[in-house]
Structure 1
Amino acid sequence: MQAASCIVVRHWRAAGTDELFDARWTHIAVSRREAVCEVALARPEARNALNGELMAELTEAARLLRLRTDILAVILTGAETYFSAGADLSASQTRVGQGTLLEGRRAIMAGPDLCKAWDEIEAVTIAAIEGYCIGGACALAVSCDFRVIGQGAYMRLPEVPLGMNMSWRTLPKLVALAGPSRAKQYVMFGEAADAERCLAWGLADEVAEAGGALAAARRWADKVAALPPLPVRMTKEAVNAISAATAQASIYMDRDQYLLASRSADYREGIAAFREKRPAKFKGD
């Protein structure tokens, strides 16, 4: 789901420290194993829901990783039994509903900025997914180069059934991975795609045993780290440029579409029905 934040995270840093690995992160955990960096979502009290603070830290970590030549692979992971419940709906509604339309338009760049930052990391990125990966968390996962998903896990985009569009720069990636028809099914119906469907549709690259996604992602990372880094980065850049050649033409309006949808009666009805655990009654208004 769409989330919003204008929060800038500033971390303590002493002279001679590594800005990425020595920072006092609050909602993520960052570690290193030789040339592999691991970034773990760490907001267990909210099932790793993407509030403004968590999104800001993930974005900052990605920007610090972007051009590092000593990091060859980056693993993004969640908890042992879940990846993330998606964008924090309450925080999103509060922030987007405040101020002018112009201020709201700026606020909802937090999600697109997050996905763009992870998309621009030059090292190969691998998402390790256990349990559920929902909404904005799914958008973040498809911003990585590869996805390894545990048996029994699933990915789901609930936005459209809740009365909003799917944004966060996600649609071009889904079309490139799954093709037009499957992308439409996945986004429109908002149904969970289990591990086997994710693999069959190209949304995942490997299905690991339950609880084994991180170990499998580490094998992928080690395989990448053993390759010559220069042609690997050239290949990533070239493939991304080809697959996203027309992406900007399709996503430049998605935050304005969200701004429109979030002020509709159908959006209010979708959210109310979700909270009241009842079928929604949409009227196209």
Structure 2
Amino acid sequence: MYRTLSLRFSGAVASLALNRAASRNAMSTELMQEMIACAGELAARDDIDVVIVTGAGKCFSAGADLKDPQRWSNDLVSLTQRRAVAELGLRMARAWEDLPQITIAAIEGYAIGGGLALAVALDWRVAARNAFVSLPEISLGIPLTWGTIPRLVNLVGPARAKRLTILCQRVAAPAALRMGLIDELCAPRKAHAAARALAARVLAMPRHAVRMSKEACNAYANRGAQATSFMAHDQLLLAAASAESRAARDAFLKRRPVATRARSRAQPGRRDSVRRRPGRAPR
């Protein structure tokens, strides 16, 4: 039924895998559209109480697919169409956040950018001890969107959310656990099994009370989220069209250093070239 996803069921638990292992489960336009459709399918399943989301292969997800022409090279289509594509990430994250079932991210390897954005839209995150997470969007000249910032602030507080977002820090799973970004650690290659064990604990609880409690928690946590997220797709379009963003994304794809301007307080007006290895967020 799905080209980019793998969905299977075991009793009252659904397991969904992002199934683009050759592309490190990068989130293409097609994958995000299918994720929205899958959320709709699962929301209607009264026999499913827990959904586990994982990634095929060695990682959860490398984030938005920078090679997707529908997303980044669509200047010839109308603004309405460009806005619709830019809004897919926000719609996907919201659809999964709004599911009545308990949702668990099972993270192996890494969850980068949009991969982490999806994970924080779920209820809980289980990660292998050797995994890491990062948000490199700003280093690519684009803001963090998809409604992710309110979710980060809810999880780790404003100051840490700013560090994660603005400094593009790569965070090892144990550190992510300490700051509240990850809920549980497990041995490598055991994330799905750990998520299954957590699912079993959920299934032991009265289902309607579980769903009502989730709904109440989300309603309180997200009471101001729309005010900061409704313009996310327009921010993405505006920033992605800038020369600095185009240059940063091109350097990332070609695996060459990215030149950025560093401002020196001691020598105002001077422009220096800072060389950084592309594809790896600053520590």
Is TM-score (shorter-chain normalized) higher than 0.5? yes
Paired with 1:107 and 1:283, the residues of 2 have a C-alpha distance of: 33
Aligned partner of 1:30: which letter? Answer: L
Kindly provide the CA deviation profile for residues 47-89 of structure 1, in whole angstroms up to 9, marking residues without a partner as x: 1111122222221111111142211100001125211111110
After the TM superposition, which segments of 4 or more aligned residues of structure 1 sit over 3 Å from their partners?
A: none
Aligned partner of 1:33: which letter? Answer: S
Identify the residue that residue 259 of structure 2 maps to in structure 1.
280
Matched residue of 1:88: which SS? coil
Matched residue of 1:98: which SS? coil
Identify the residue that residue 225 of structure 1 maps to in structure 2.
203
Identify the residue that residue 64 of structure 1 maps to in structure 2.
41
Identify the residue that residue 267 of structure 2 maps to in structure 1.
none
Paired with 2:226 and 2:245, the residues of 1 have a C-alpha distance of: 26
Paired with 1:247 and 1:76, the residues of 2 have a C-alpha distance of: 23
Q: Which of 167, 181, 184 matches 1:206?
A: 184
C-alpha RMSD over aligned residues: 1.6
Matched residue of 1:89: which SS? coil
Aligned partner of 2:18: which letter? Answer: L
Matched residue of 1:90: which SS? coil
- Contact 1:67/1:121 (8 A) holds in 2: no
Once the two structures are aligned, what percentage of the paired residues are identical?
41
Aligned partner of 1:110: which letter? Answer: L
Q: Which of 111, 126, 141 matches 1:133?
A: 111
Aligned partner of 2:204: which letter? Answer: A
In structure 2, the CA distance between the partners of 1:75 and 1:222, relative to structure 1 (3 Å rule), is same
In structure 2, the CA distance between the partners of 1:270 and 1:282, relative to structure 1 (3 Å rule), is farther
The residue correspondences of 1:5-24 to structure 2 (distance < 5 A) are 24=1
- Contact 2:94/2:121 (8 A) holds in 1: yes
- Greater shift, 122-131 or 149-158, is seen at 149-158
Paired with 1:70 and 1:102, the residues of 2 have a C-alpha distance of: 38
Paired with 2:82 and 2:58, the residues of 1 have a C-alpha distance of: 34
- Greater shift, 231-240 or 57-66, is seen at 57-66
Identify the residue that residue 93 of structure 1 maps to in structure 2.
72
Identify the residue that residue 55 of structure 1 maps to in structure 2.
32
Paired with 1:205 and 1:157, the residues of 2 have a C-alpha distance of: 18
Identify the residue that residue 82 of structure 1 maps to in structure 2.
59
Paired with 1:123 and 1:264, the residues of 2 have a C-alpha distance of: 40
- Greater shift, 104-113 or 229-238, is seen at 104-113
| Pairing 1:245–2:223 present | yes
| Pairing 1:27–2:9 present | no
Paired with 1:169 and 1:26, the residues of 2 have a C-alpha distance of: 26
- Greater shift, 72-81 or 98-107, is seen at 98-107
Paired with 1:103 and 1:53, the residues of 2 have a C-alpha distance of: 15
| Pairing 1:108–2:86 present | yes
- Contact 1:269/1:281 (8 A) holds in 2: no
Matched residue of 1:147: which SS? strand
Aligned partner of 1:190: which letter? Answer: C
Identify the residue that residue 255 of structure 1 maps to in structure 2.
233
Paired with 2:52 and 2:41, the residues of 1 have a C-alpha distance of: 15
Identify the residue that residue 16 of structure 1 maps to in structure 2.
none
- Contact 2:21/2:55 (8 A) holds in 1: no
| Cα distance, 1:198 vs structure 2 | 1.2
Aligned partner of 1:280: which letter? Answer: A
In structure 1, the gaps of 5 or more residues are 1-23
Q: From the two aligned structures, give the one with the greater strand fraction.
A: 2
Q: Which of 22, 46, 49 matches 2:23?
A: 46
Matched residue of 1:148: which SS? strand
In structure 2, the CA distance between the partners of 1:151 and 1:98, relative to structure 1 (3 Å rule), is farther
Alignment coverage as a number of residue pairs: 260
| Cα distance, 1:170 vs structure 2 | 0.7
Identify the residue that residue 4 of structure 1 maps to in structure 2.
none
Q: Which of 168, 173, 182 matches 2:160?
A: 182
Paired with 1:283 and 1:101, the residues of 2 have a C-alpha distance of: 33
| Cα distance, 1:44 vs structure 2 | 1.7
